[in-house]
Structure 1
Amino acid sequence: MAHLLGAEALHLEYPTTVVFDSVSLGVNEGDRIGIVGRNGDGKSSLLAMLAGRAQPDSGRVTVRGGVRIGVLDQADVLDDDDTVGHAVVGDLADHEWAGDARVRDVIAGLLTDLAWDAPLGTLSGGQRRRVALARLLVGDWDVLFLDEPTNHLDVEGITWLAEHLKRRWPAGAGGLLVVTHDRWFLDEVCTVTWEVHDRIVESFEGGYAAYILQRVERDRQAASIEARRQNLARKELAWLRRGAPARTAKPKFRIDAANALIADVPEIRDPVALQSLAVSRLGKDVVDLLDVSVAYDDREVLRGVEWRIAPGERTGILGVNGAGKSTLLGLIDGTVHPTAGRVKRGKTVRVATLTQRLDELEDHLDDPVRVVVAGLRTSYTFGAGSKAQELTPGQLLERLGFSSAQLSTPVRDLSGGQKRRLQLLMILLDQPNVLILDEPTNDLDTDMLAAMEDLLDSWPGTLLVVSHDRYFLERVTDQQYAIFDGHLRHLPGGVEEYLRLRRSQPDTAARATAGAPAASSALSGADLRAAQKEIAALERRIGKLEKDIGSARMALAEHDQADYAGLAAEMQRIAVMETERDDLETRWYELGEALG
């Protein structure tokens, strides 16, 4: 593989800490690198040095001649007086950029809800971020550096970005380095993971899931080495007291040991115990939305919503921006009142919401963390039954990544991620029995997300989550709902079903922008209706085939391995189903193109 850029003996330090000490690494053609690590350990600094945006204190970065580097960093450098269209395509004439498939794809993927001639000064921070990302992606780059590109993108936007990056360069060409806490995105896009920790950068093969397996192996090796060192010390002491030690064979570590570490790990949640405890805390009635509608200024946001929320229910809620997710949450916590229908609330219900605004910390900004903690409940019980744990606020802080030294830090001086974790702690110690999380993953690194998920696994109440972080949403909830055209719809197929339904929606009106005409369907009238009907039928058949293929593969694993004829016949049957599925998907894509 051809070399794109490299770093040699990078050293970077700030007045109070050394960030990197003699780090050497390289990026080759075809590399798709995800960068993970704790907040503050130097991920963005590493990206900036490799991209030439920052200089190391010593060491050097070399770039192959002619390599074009594109960078998305976290700073907003857009001109308020510029327009969306000019910021993205510059002075290109309409026919020039409209004739470029990449430009059309980027605009359709990121900017369908923005007016082409809208001044950037009128946009929200999230909208400006998408414009900056679009401006970068329409360019022709050999290497892309992306610092938190999924911030301000919804599930659809993140899925689109992953697909765009996977097909942006031919196999074995181009280079990508991305810092993100979105673990689904890392798994979907990246083939290598760099972990930044303890002044070094450690490389792992594969995306997030493969990285976690290898990290477990690494930690197991470290523990094994430390245990061996301690054993040798004990044997040395025994020799000194009793004579020569016995000869022993050194155990050889295998990759299977990493899998063995999780062989006896129980299910992440005990649904029966948590459900029982939730019923005892809540009773059978939580919140019922009975034929509820909500309208603002004659615009109906929700209509005819029927949802009976159960004790211990763990539900994720999906929907595009403006679909009504916040309104739905407001109905549940009582801050929004229906314009039709009624909301029935159980007598023992105590709702708490982890918002994006950090409201709970406003009165404590000048207080050290230890003072805030001292004013909270002295203990808290997590889990149910034999797995119940009594934890102090200090122990909870430790589980959420706070060190003892940070207890003296005033709240206003905490990082965004630390404030987020302290906010969650304050809410949990208030002992609500219905917890609403509204985009809870902002400002958290992957380790802290795992710590939050671990905490929520033993939380015995009703949990409702709105998040663009697909990994987190699927990890902490047991089912998902979506809001489509004001209606609440259950998603038995989860996020994948939501994305399929969104793709099949007639979105041409949303695509229209001034100066960027809507993609029009090549079909009309009866042909259009027939194509839409066929697409719906194809999606049902493809879904059934996927289920049948999965079941057949599971059965294959349990088949008598000595029955060669039976195995061959079953594998042939699976191959036939896969061929049919592939043909149907091809037809689905053809119809999608015809519909625009």
Structure 2
Amino acid sequence: MNYLSVENISKAYGERVLFENVSFGINKDQKIAFVAKNGSGKTSILNIITGKDSPDSGQVVTRKDINVAFLSQEPDLQNELTIEESIFASDNEILKVIERYEKAVLNPEDEKTFQSAFDQMDLYNAWDFETQYKQILSKLKLDDLKLKVKNLSGGQKKRLTLAIILISRPDLLILDEPTNHLDLEMIEWLENYFAKENITLFMVTHDRYFLERVCNEIIELDNGIIYQYKGNYSYYLDKKEERIAAEQASVDKAKNLFTKELEWMRRQPKARTTKSKSRQDDFYIIKEKASQRRIEHQVELEINMERMGSKIVELHNLHKKFNDKVILNGFTYNFGRGERIGIIGKNGTGKSTFLNILTQTMQPDAGKVVVGETIKIGYYTQAGINPKPNQKVIDIIKEFGEYIPLSKGRLLSAGQLLERFLFDRKKQHDYVEKLSGGELKRLYLCTVLIQNPNFLILDEPTNDLDIVTLNVLESFLLDYPGCLLVVSHDRYFMDKIVDHLFVFRGEGEVEDFPGNYSDFRIYEDSAEPVKDEVAKEKVNKKEKSVKAGLTFNEQKEFSKIEREIKDLEAKKTLIEQEFADGKVADDAIEKKSIELQKVIENLEEKEERWFELSAKMEA
């Protein structure tokens, strides 16, 4: 059943043509991702589909009897309403059914109206509406129903808007970057919800795991042409690569034929026969085919990183709290050369506060941050660029100089640098306020990297970036020789570039986990209730937290051993999982087995020492 048809739509702003004659359809039960580069018109297409904008030509035809909902990037809520009031103020068909029933109850003599209202209550399962919306609000961690919208964080507003939409049970749900501003727990809940629910989806998202696990079809707008792929993200990548290779082979074949035909054309006399006229017409078709080329502009990232000394950044016994909310409780860490750390944790556990303390834009309540003399920190924040009125794109870059130093003593003009970040000469003289969300992020990234930092901090760098730019950024960061600290809800991004994680558990607890995000999920999901007596003994002793009988150094050792045991157990679980999943290559089995044996021996040694110190505590 067709829900919506996009028929030959076009859109241009002045001389800038976004797209022409774009057509596709959305059918019942499809879960479609719409993929395109930044600036190619993704948001414009969403706005046209949802009726917020109109095409220059073509039309969008929507089936009349379906309920369509749109989750935009900017929640549209009333500040003075509470969470619960926002539910009842929404345009929800179930609420209309309940309202009609309540009116019918007041006039029971009108049996026909009453029966119709009663049947509608059954049809929409409206009898337990209160239970339904409270369950969804609870799942989305919106438990205080009396909290006003104006007091909600950006993430909470996004979740409330999402709750309102899910409660309305739309036939077709259109989503613009649904995972932005959600923490990892919420993203995974939403991912599981969409994967199992019979709901038709059309979404724009840069979250590649979301694409992989939720979508069963991908529509790509590439160089003005629509391509459709019946599969998830992995399938799309494979088939796109095959398509590009086939297109290139076709162009190469046409070029070879064009060379031969060109020689023939040059030999032809001016007087033409009917046969030669036909061949000449074919020649121009071949020429057009041979002249085709892919427009594959890519961001080029390059920096001239400052040399790093022996001292990087040291964090000494940091404490921070807001009223009774503890963010850091004696956190200590010394960064080493080339460390690549991801930061994860629920919203509100203090990730951004930690970064502000690290960059010394906020002071801790106690403890200190020591930054090495050679360290130059580059900090990409969620706030982004704050341009002056009527400031142009090139003016932003010229604030850092007319010429930018690169490696090996080379120089790059401000204009040339912007071209590397996909801002052509015309775009460089646009006003900054005209840029799309993704273009603003790209410009901001440019301003951070041209300062040549050797300690790079990225706070949600993937929001609003298209998948092509994300891949380029990832490649750059994989080769980046400095220290890297990343806060991101993009699990695919984190998996690719970080070696270990700071896990913000809340209440001031920060855990150093050895592995990337998928490693962490495997470890968390495999953690079962403690069964063996040794583990029970450890838990009981930890809960007692009585360290009488130990010297100060032994108390420090005891705490350290507990962390080391946890890390080793996680490492052991991961290696065993790799063997169980058959992910270990034949030529790596021996090496991996030796690694596992060393981990087990080290774990046994630590546990033995743990028991020794435990015995001293009880003595």
Q: Give the alignment's TM-score, normalised by structure 2.
A: 0.69
> 1:146 and 1:331 mapped to 2: Cα distance?
35
In the TM superposition, what whole-angstrom CA distance separates every residue of 1:108-135 from its partner, at most 9, and x where no partner exists?
33233x5211122332444222211110
> 1:544 and 1:106 mapped to 2: Cα distance?
37
> 1:99 and 1:11 mapped to 2: Cα distance?
45
Match of 1:426 in 2: 447
Query: Match for 2:344 among 308, 312, 318?
Result: 318
> 1:60 and 1:23 mapped to 2: Cα distance?
10
Larger mean CA deviation between 174-183 and 84-93 belongs to 84-93
Task: Return the offset for 1:17.
Answer: 4.1
SS at match of 2:29: coil
Match of 2:475 in 1: 454
Residues 165-314 of structure 1: pairs in structure 2 closer than 5 A:
165-169=194-198, 174-237=199-262, 281-297=307-323, 299-314=325-340
Cα distance change on mapping 1:555 and 1:316 into 2, 3 Å: closer
Cα distance change on mapping 1:451 and 1:395 into 2, 3 Å: farther
SS at match of 2:77: coil
> 2:399 and 2:12 mapped to 1: Cα distance?
37
In the TM superposition, what whole-angstrom CA distance separates every residue of 1:274-311 from its partner, at most 9, and x where no partner exists?
9xx98x81122211223322233454310121222112
Match of 1:123 in 2: 152
In the alignment, structure 1 residue 28 sits paired with structure 2 residue 52: no
In the alignment, structure 1 residue 369 sits paired with structure 2 residue 393: yes
> 1:500 and 1:427 mapped to 2: Cα distance?
34
Task: Return the offset for 1:57.
Answer: 4.3
Contact 1:156 1:499 in 2 (8 A): no
In the alignment, structure 1 residue 348 sits paired with structure 2 residue 374: yes
Task: Return the offset for 1:390.
Answer: 7.4
Task: Return the offset for 1:328.
Answer: 1.8
Contact 1:195 1:201 in 2 (8 A): yes
AA partner of residue 161 (structure 1): L
In the alignment, structure 1 residue 443 sits paired with structure 2 residue 474: no
> 2:571 and 2:131 mapped to 1: Cα distance?
35
Contact 1:369 1:407 in 2 (8 A): yes
> 1:502 and 1:61 mapped to 2: Cα distance?
46
Task: Return the offset for 1:436.
Answer: 0.9
Larger mean CA deviation between 29-38 and 443-452 belongs to 443-452
Query: Match for 2:491 among 460, 463, 470?
Result: 470
Cα distance change on mapping 1:556 and 1:458 into 2, 3 Å: closer
SS at match of 2:426: helix
SS at match of 1:282: coil
Contact 1:379 1:390 in 2 (8 A): yes
In the alignment, structure 1 residue 96 sits paired with structure 2 residue 124: no
> 1:334 and 1:556 mapped to 2: Cα distance?
49
In the alignment, structure 1 residue 484 sits paired with structure 2 residue 505: yes
In the TM superposition, what whole-angstrom CA distance separates every residue of 1:430-489 from its partner, at most 9, and x where no partner exists?
222111111222332222323333333343311111112222222333332211131221
Q: Give the alignment's TM-score, normalised by structure 1.
A: 0.71
Task: Return the offset for 1:178.
Answer: 0.7
Q: List runs of 5+ in structure 1 lacking aligned partners.
A: 244-268, 506-525, 560-596
AA partner of residue 219 (structure 1): I
SS at match of 2:465: coil
Q: List runs of 5+ in structure 2 lacking aligned partners.
A: 90-94, 100-125, 269-300, 528-535, 544-565, 590-619
SS at match of 1:349: coil
Cα distance change on mapping 1:44 and 1:419 into 2, 3 Å: closer
AA partner of residue 111 (structure 1): K
In the alignment, structure 1 residue 549 sits paired with structure 2 residue 549: no
Contact 1:380 1:393 in 2 (8 A): no
Task: Return the offset for 1:157.
Answer: 1.3
Contact 1:351 1:434 in 2 (8 A): yes
In the TM superposition, what whole-angstrom CA distance separates every residue of 1:329-365 from its partner, at most 9, and x where no partner exists?
1232222333334433222112121112235x54x55
Query: Match for 1:162 among 191, 214, 226?
Result: 191
Contact 1:400 1:451 in 2 (8 A): no
Cα distance change on mapping 1:553 and 1:33 into 2, 3 Å: same
Contact 2:313 2:370 in 1 (8 A): yes
Match of 1:254 in 2: none
SS at match of 2:349: coil
Larger mean CA deviation between 371-380 and 448-457 belongs to 371-380
SS at match of 1:338: coil
Larger mean CA deviation between 89-98 and 392-401 belongs to 89-98
In the TM superposition, what whole-angstrom CA distance separates every residue of 1:61-106 from its partner, at most 9, and x where no partner exists?
3444533322223454322232201323667899934543xx4553
In the TM superposition, what whole-angstrom CA distance separates every residue of 1:382-416 from its partner, at most 9, and x where no partner exists?
6x9xxx99765544423322122112223343333
> 1:484 and 1:39 mapped to 2: Cα distance?
35
> 1:135 and 1:56 mapped to 2: Cα distance?
29
Match of 2:105 in 1: none
Residues 59-138 of structure 1: pairs in structure 2 closer than 5 A:
59-64=58-63, 66-88=65-87, 96-97=128-129, 99-100=131-132, 103=133, 105-112=135-142, 115-138=144-167
Cα distance change on mapping 1:558 and 1:546 into 2, 3 Å: closer
SS at match of 2:213: helix
Match of 2:555 in 1: none
> 1:409 and 1:51 mapped to 2: Cα distance?
28
SS at match of 2:307: helix
Task: Return the offset for 1:5.
Answer: 3.0
Task: Return the offset for 1:554.
Answer: 3.6
AA partner of residue 96 (structure 1): D
Cα distance change on mapping 1:435 and 1:128 into 2, 3 Å: same
Cα distance change on mapping 1:105 and 1:491 into 2, 3 Å: farther
The percentage of aligned residue pairs carrying the same residue is: 33
Q: Which has the larger radius of gyration?
A: 2
> 1:56 and 1:431 mapped to 2: Cα distance?
43
SS at match of 2:7: strand
Contact 2:499 2:516 in 1 (8 A): no
> 2:229 and 2:411 mapped to 1: Cα distance?
37
AA partner of residue 489 (structure 1): E
SS at match of 1:402: coil
Cα distance change on mapping 1:408 and 1:494 into 2, 3 Å: same
In the alignment, structure 1 residue 329 sits paired with structure 2 residue 355: yes
Match of 2:383 in 1: 357
